[in-house]
Amino acid sequence: MGGKKKVHPKTRTAAFKASEPSEIVEAPHSFVIHRGLACPYIMDLTLDFRRIMEPFTASNLREKRMNRIKDFVSLSSFFHVSHMGIFNKASTQLSFKVVRLPRGPSLTFKVHQFTLARDVISLSKKQMIDNDHFKHAPLVIMNNFSGDGKHLKLMATTFQNMFPSINLATVNIGTIRRCVLFSYNPDTKLVEMRHYSVQVVPVGLKRAVQKIVKGTVPNLGKCKEVVDFVIKDGYASESEAEDDEQSQVVLAQTLKSRGNLEDNKSSIKLHEIGPRLTLQLIKIEEGLLTGEVLYHDHVVKTEDEKEILRKLVEKKRKQKEQRKKEQAENRARNLKLKKDEKWAAKRAAEGRTDSDPEDDAEYYKEEVGEEPDEELFKMEAKSSRKRPSLGGGMKYKNKRAKLDTKDKNDKSDRKDKYDRKDKFDRKDKKDKFDPKNRRAKFDPKNKRAKFDNRKSRKSK
């Protein structure tokens, strides 16, 4: 039975990548990990930040102490990972690094304060959270990032590129269920990050109608009909009053939620679901956590000092390349020496002490002073232990030749046939078969006599 045909791993990987839709492939993906000292709160913060980056992140990514940053970088190309967030817990502070894969730049933030998602949700009176909200990427809102300095533009661009872009002409408003807010304070140089869930509520309805539209079952015990419930019940109380006009919008599309129709007014409400982060940009590096420092909040260098540092980095890079080259040469030389020693030991074990023809030729030249003849120290080909290949006729020398079946009445052919068949006799292989003495050797009477002798012995 024929088994299933095996597929090469590269072919299988290429087919898997080709089957993915372009929207998923082009969307920015991310890894979020934690390093440094072990802390349960930092691990929970890492999981909460992965929750923000869904659905284009590794939510169930498992990491170990033995894993290095290079391990995640090597896997980034296969999973289309474009950014990596690293929470690093030191003895004095907590830092958060955002790295653009695979070549940088790298942004390092200091975390001044953070609040976990479970704490934020427990403080809110109305907990508005649903797992369906995390099936689509959030909307990114940037506030107050317009200012002097290239580091602000780079920081804003990095935050925006961590999430997929939105095309206003083709976007489905029903998929926008969450939003992430990044607000920059130029006085304190702090970045506040908040995470909200979005709720759309129709405007201009009575409180009773809102309850019916939302699907809540009203208490009709004091009413004879539903009309009485709608007429008697007034508008919403002050605590349930509708927001100001700034939060009201005219919908361009009809949403799945009840009462939100196209070209009708609806109110946008935000419910914080956490986590909260207060960040401060410390430095920006050109490469992947290495390279030239493009910006530093604490240290300011002049152009001459920057030039000296560039030359020092370039010198270190050249030294590293030189060391790698020397290591490769040493490795090749050591492998060659080991191979030669192994070959010499093998020749010594076989008892071969033949000298090298090149050395003999040099010795002859030094002693005699003349060049030796070409045939005197001729290089002999290395003997191979393999069996020499046979010719076309000798390839199947042990195989019996086929008989010519055209003329079956030829007696000479028939005689040769008997000669070949009985060349090795079972009884005596050394003696050649004689067709005249065939009956004498295999005499049934003698065989019978032997059988009778055995029978008589048993009877005794």
Q: How many domains does the chain have?
A: 2
Q: Where are the beta strands (DSSP E) in 91-214?
A: 94-100, 106-115, 139-143, 178-185, 190-202
Looking at the structure, tell me whether residues 280 and 335 fall in a common domain.
no
Choose the final residue of a domain: 288, 320, 341.
341
- pLDDT of amino acid 20: 77
CB 44 within 8 Å of CB 116: yes
SS3 247: helix
Residue 182 lies in a domain: yes
Looking at the structure, tell me whether residues 331 and 292 fall in a common domain.
no
Looking at the structure, tell me whether residues 67 and 129 fall in a common domain.
yes
Looking at the structure, tell me whether residues 169 and 317 fall in a common domain.
no
Taking the C-alpha atoms of residue 117 and residue 180, their distance in angstroms, rounded to an integer, is 14
Residue 49 lies in a domain: yes
Looking at the structure, tell me whether residues 335 and 269 fall in a common domain.
no
**Chain centre distance of CA 100:** 17
**Which long-range contacts link 262-268 to residues 24+ away (Cβ below 8 Å)?**
264/202, 264/203, 265/202, 265/203, 265/204, 266/200, 266/201, 266/202, 266/203, 267/200, 267/201, 267/202, 267/203, 267/242, 267/243, 268/198, 268/199, 268/200
Residue 416 lies in a domain: no
Cβ burial of 104 (10 Å; 0-12, 13-18, 19+) is middle
Looking at the structure, tell me whether residues 160 and 283 fall in a common domain.
yes
Looking at the structure, tell me whether residues 289 and 317 fall in a common domain.
no
SS3 162: coil
Residue 214 lies in a domain: no
- pLDDT of amino acid 430: 46
Taking the C-alpha atoms of residue 138 and residue 56, their distance in angstroms, rounded to an integer, is 11
Tokens of 428: 């005596």
Residue 274 lies in a domain: yes
Taking the C-alpha atoms of residue 199 and residue 444, their distance in angstroms, rounded to an integer, is 111
Taking the C-alpha atoms of residue 189 and residue 152, their distance in angstroms, rounded to an integer, is 10
Looking at the structure, tell me whether residues 326 and 247 fall in a common domain.
no
Residue 251 lies in a domain: yes
Helices (H) and strands (E) in the chain, counts: 13, 11
Q: What angle do CA 203, 204, 206 make, to 5 degrees?
A: 115
- pLDDT of amino acid 52: 95
Looking at the structure, tell me whether residues 283 and 308 fall in a common domain.
no
Give backbone dihedrals phi and psi of 192, rounded to 5 degrees, phi first: -100, 125
Taking the C-alpha atoms of residue 259 and residue 265, their distance in angstroms, rounded to an integer, is 10
Residue 179 lies in a domain: yes
CA quadruple 69, 70, 74, 80: dihedral sign: positive
Looking at the structure, tell me whether residues 76 and 92 fall in a common domain.
yes
- pLDDT tens, residue order, the chain (460 aa): 455 566 666 566 666 566 778 888 889 999 999 999 989 999 999 999 999 999 999 999 988 888 999 999 998 988 899 999 999 999 999 999 999 998 889 999 999 999 999 999 998 888 888 888 999 999 999 999 988 889 999 999 999 999 999 888 888 888 999 999 999 999 999 999 999 999 888 887 766 666 666 666 677 777 777 777 767 655 444 444 455 677 788 888 888 777 778 888 888 889 999 899 999 999 999 989 888 888 999 888 888 888 898 898 889 889 999 999 999 999 999 999 998 888 888 878 876 555 566 667 777 777 777 877 777 666 554 555 556 555 555 555 555 655 555 554 555 555 555 555 454 445 444 445 555 555 445 555 555 555 555 555 555 4
Taking the C-alpha atoms of residue 327 and residue 325, their distance in angstroms, rounded to an integer, is 5
CATH number at residue 136: 3.40.50.10480
pTM greater than the 0.75 cutoff: no
Nearest to 276 by CA among 111, 84, 137, 61: 111
Question: What b-and-e string marks burial along 116-153, b requiring 16 or more CB atoms within 10 Å of the CB?
Answer: bbeebeeeeeeebeeeebbebbbbbebeebeeeeebbe
Looking at the structure, tell me whether residues 291 and 327 fall in a common domain.
no
Taking the C-alpha atoms of residue 224 and residue 308, their distance in angstroms, rounded to an integer, is 88
Choose the final residue of a domain: 229, 261, 296.
296
Residue 3 lies in a domain: no
Which domain covers residue 171, as residue numbers? 23-203+243-296
Looking at the structure, tell me whether residues 324 and 193 fall in a common domain.
no
Count how many Cα atoms sit within 13 Å of the Cα of residue 451 in the half-sphere of its side chain. Answer: 6
Count how many Cα atoms sit within 13 Å of the Cα of residue 417 in the half-sphere of its side chain. Answer: 11
